[in-house]
């Protein structure tokens, strides 16, 4: 296997290595975290776990398929901002499997149709940055030319018509209420 993608067999191998604590295969990185040396590539065992925790996937998942998870973004840069992430550990877009590419089409259609039905966005932006989180994912930003009044507040797309302002809205936004509303409008 090339790159930093882990198959089910590789994850099983890593678990076995971790449980047996084979020192020759376990290395410390600069941050003092444990990594696994597998086929000459150092794998960050906890990348996927950390990613799921950071983006609160357990709480904020809207929709998922066999390969992808669409969740609400914890910082709402625009109303309905989300994260589309691969379910398995993978850090390179070029390492996607054919089935994952094909499934991506289904998820994107569900996202766009659902968000349009829920909020009637004007344009949608997908950003794949992966500068901090080395897990294959896209930030999804519905964009709005005019303000919206929903969930007891005013929503303004501060970056319109340019780049989205990624800072998000101040605290007080009920993310679970927004997630539940989007789920009720799901077009899959």
Q: Say yes or no: 174 and 118 in one domain.
A: yes
- Given a cut of 60, whether residue 36 has pLDDT beyond it is no
Q: Is the pTM of this model over 0.85?
A: no
Q: Say yes or no: 142 and 70 in one domain.
A: yes
* pLDDT tens string 49-108: 999 999 999 999 999 999 999 999 999 999 999 999 999 999 999 999 999 999 999 999
Q: Say yes or no: 158 and 89 in one domain.
A: yes
Q: Say yes or no: 14 and 81 in one domain.
A: no
CATH number, domain containing residue 154: 3.30.428.10
State the alpha helices, DSSP H only, in 8-150: 8-20, 47-54, 57-60, 98-119
Q: How many domains does the chain have?
A: 2
Which structural domain range is residue 14 located in?
8-45
The DSSP letter of residue 95 is G
The structure tokens listed for 111 are 């996202």
Nearest to 26 by CA among 10, 42, 48, 13: 42
The answer to whether position 81 is within a domain reads yes
* pLDDT at residue 171, rounded to an integer: 61
Q: Say yes or no: 36 and 53 in one domain.
A: no
Q: Say yes or no: 99 and 21 in one domain.
A: no
Q: Say yes or no: 34 and 63 in one domain.
A: no
Q: Say yes or no: 154 and 127 in one domain.
A: yes
Q: Say yes or no: 168 and 145 in one domain.
A: yes
The answer to whether position 1 is within a domain reads no
CA dihedral 91, 51, 84, 94 (to 10 degrees): 0
* pLDDT tens string 114-161: 999 999 999 999 999 988 888 999 999 999 999 999 998 899 999 999
* pLDDT at residue 1, rounded to an integer: 41
């Amino acid at each position: 296997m090339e790159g930093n993608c882990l198959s089910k067999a590789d994850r099983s191998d890593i678990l076995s290595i971790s449980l047996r604590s084979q020192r020759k295969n376990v290395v410390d990185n600069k941050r003092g975290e444990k990594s696994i040396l597998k086929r000459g590539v150092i794998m960050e065992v906890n990348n996927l776990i950390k990613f799921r925790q950071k983006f609160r996937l357990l709480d904020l998942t809207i929709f998922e398929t066999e390969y992808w998870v669409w969740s609400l973004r914890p910082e709402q840069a625009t109303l309905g901002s989300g994260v589309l992430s691969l379910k398995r550990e993978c850090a390179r877009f070029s390492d996607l499997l054919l089935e994952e590419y094909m499934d991506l089409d289904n998820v994107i259609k569900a996202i766009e149709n659902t968000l349009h039905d829920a909020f009637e966005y004007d344009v949608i932006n997908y950003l794949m940055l992966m500068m901090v989180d080395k897990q294959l994912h896209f930030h999804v930003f519905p964009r709005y030319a005019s303000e919206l009044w929903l969930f007891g507040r005013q929503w303004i797309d501060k970056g319109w018509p340019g780049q989205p302002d990624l800072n998000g809205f101040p605290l007080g936004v009920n993310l679970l209420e927004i997630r539940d509303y989007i789920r009720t409008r799901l077009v899959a």
